[in-house]
A and B are shown apart, each in its own frame.
Chain A
Amino acid sequence: EAAVTQSPRSKVAVTGGKVTLSCHQTNNHDYMYWYRQDTGHGLRLIHYSYVADSTEKGDIPDGYKASRPSQENFSLILELASLSQTAVYFCASSGLGGQNTLYFGAGTRLSVL
């Protein structure tokens, strides 16, 4: 079965600190995505990637960086965490990008204090 694993599952960070969220997939999928979920905003795309060593900006990339060192791994980096980045973050993978099913990880609940 398709598997997307996120770590950590929850994190408390201090304002101005660096946060790295990790995602690992065993689906052999080319596409990987980072979304954030906030009440009232639904899911918004932060960054995505369709090949290793390359990332693309989504709709809300400001304040976030992404890294895709291999097909299986995709990280989201908050260099200077801010209060407004408190949210639940979901990683997803897809074999054919936006034209096919996305498989989501369990999510990471990030609280920035």
Chain B
Amino acid sequence: GEKVEQHESTLSVREGDSAVINCTYTDTASSYFPWYKQEAGKSLHFVIDIRSNVDRKQSQRLIVLLDKKAKRFSLHITATQPEDSAIYFCAASDGADRLTFGKGTQLIIQP
């Protein structure tokens, strides 16, 4: 089955700088790559996704890049703000039914 590796377990950036979280996947059949955010003590909610028919997607300060050849995708958060502090999970779907998640990246925004 699909395996998703999230490379940074913790990432610390200064407020206003950009943050980049990287993930790789194993199944070439995977075609859907969402990102979820979990704020401290709370549940997860969807933030942005990308499908395999495009290699870049932007939603306000969030940019997702997909490199299908390298089986790699990344989340870029520009102009970081304190409310961006959270755990971010990448995921990949290798079929119609299920998502496989990475282990999560704790993003810390320093003042």
Tell me if A99 and B32 are in contact (CB < 8 A). Answer: yes
Tell me if B89 and A43 are in contact (CB < 8 A). Answer: yes
Give Cα distance in the complex from A113 to B79, angstroms: 45
The number of inter-chain residue pairs (CB within 8 angstroms) is 62
Tell me if B97 and A50 are in contact (CB < 8 A). Answer: yes
Nearest-Cβ distance from residue B51 to partner chain A, whole angstroms: 8
Q: Mark B78-100, 1 if CB is under 8 A from A, else 0.
A: 00000000000100011111111
Residues of A contacting B46 with CB < 8 Å? 101-103
> Residue A62 at the B interface, CB < 8 A?
no
Categorize the interface residue count of chain A. 20 to 34
Nearest-Cβ distance from residue B108 to partner chain A, whole angstroms: 16
> Residue A74 at the B interface, CB < 8 A?
no
Also in contact, A97 and B97, with CB within 8 A (given A102-B46, A104-B44): yes
Residues of A contacting B6 with CB < 8 Å? 42
B residues neighboring A (CB under 8 Å): 1, 6, 31-32, 34, 36, 42-46, 49, 89, 93-104
A residues neighboring B (CB under 8 Å): 31, 33, 35, 40-45, 48, 50, 56, 58-59, 90, 96-99, 101-107
Given contacts A98-B95, A98-B96, 7 further A-B pairs with CB under 8 A are A41-B103, A45-B98, A90-B44, A97-B96, A99-B32, A102-B34, A106-B42
